[in-house]
Amino acid sequence: MSSNEVIDEKPEKGLSREAILLEVGELLKNERNKKSISIDMVANALNFRKIYLEALESGDWSHMPGEVYALGFLRQYATYLHLDLDHTIEKLKSGHYQLTKPLTFPDPPVAPKKSWMMVAALAFVLLFVGINLFDHTPAPLPSQLMQASAVHTQAAAKLNTTNTEVGKTPIKEPAVEPVVVSPLTSDNHSKLQSKEKIEKSAKVEIPATKKVLSYHYKLTAVTGDVWLQLHDSNEPPALIREVLLKKGESMKVTYSQALRLTSGNALALKIDLNNHPIVQVSQLGEKGKVLRSYLLQKKKPLP
């Protein structure tokens, strides 16, 4: 098998967490046996306890020190065997291994019978005919037409009389006030130019300067081995680095924003930021507990 070969390790939908762990453990064990590597060789190469490797291969994580440690060991073991288990690790982190609800589809609609369609069409025709019959109004009588014509003639005569009286009244035109235009003198011209300059200067926007800070970290495992993860400060946080520092080893990281630390043995760490110590040995975390999402920054502003 070539280096860094991607293994199709996506579990089937609906598998429980225990089923995923058993499937991953079987995949690790088969790949190790295929490469003719003993479990003792893996323990020496990764500096892991043998009981943890056996727990990973058996799928029984009850002997693991914690979820964060177990996922870190699984990632390093998979990298050692050149297996790509990132998808499964993310699924275990996010809890997407829970059983999913089976999909249900509604029954297809039943087509109506032709007899019902014919009855509905006949009812519609009868309703339309009935409305037309009852809506028919009788024609007006001749006497009613004569009365309406007389009323119309009287109204027209009154309208003509009113128009004649209005036409005899003279209409006054509105007076138009003269507009005085002052001549453009040199004094007025200079005032106009100065006003335009002030308006143009008021429209000029001064761009705001943004100070960009760089965070130079140095993390050193002083008194023991330290497993750690570094995430950025965004929401959701993105993983920047994950590493296992042996005792006496150090690591340097430069980033544009303050990072967050998750560590299993934070008491053994010494951390410098921009060549200034911000964490001394035995200052972070508690013995036997995992430090989670600790913001690495100074209490005072950076220089």
pLDDT at residue 99 greater than cutoff 80? no
Whether the per-residue pLDDT at 143 is higher than 70: the answer is no
> Averaged over 190-219, what is the pLDDT?
62
List helix spans (H) across 81-226. Answer: 86-94, 114-134, 142-168, 186-203
Share above pLDDT 90 across residues of the chain, in percent, rounded to a whole number: 18
Could you give the C-alpha distances from 270 to 221, 249, 283, 284, in angstroms and in order?
7, 11, 9, 9
Query: Which is more confidently placed, 173 or 119?
Result: 119
Round the average pLDDT of the chain to a whole number and report it: 73
Query: Which of these, 232, 233, 302, 228, lies nearest to 267 by C-alpha position?
Result: 228
Q: Among residues 275, 243, 282, 234, which one has the least CA distance to residue 262?
A: 243
Q: How confident is the model at residue 160 (pLDDT cuts 50, 70, 90)?
A: low
Is residue 263 within 8 A of residue 291, CB to CB? The reply is yes
- pLDDT average, residue stretch 178-202: 54
- Residue-wise pLDDT for 223-268, tens only, equals 989 888 999 989 888 989 888 899 999 999 998 888 999 998 889 8
- pLDDT band, residue 9 (cuts 50/70/90): very low
pLDDT band at 183 (very low <50, low <70, confident <90, very high): low
Q: What is the mean pLDDT of residues 47-76?
A: 87
What's the whole-model pTM score? 0.34
The values of phi and psi at residue 217, to 5°, are: -100, 150
Do 248 and 221 contact (CB within 8 A), yes or no?
yes
Give the pLDDT score at 301. 44
The 10 Å Cβ neighbour count of residue 208 is 5
Span 189-198, mean pLDDT?
58
All domains of the chain in start order, with CATH:
17-94 (1.10.260.40), 215-295 (2.60.40.50)
Q: What's the pLDDT score for residue 158?
A: 58
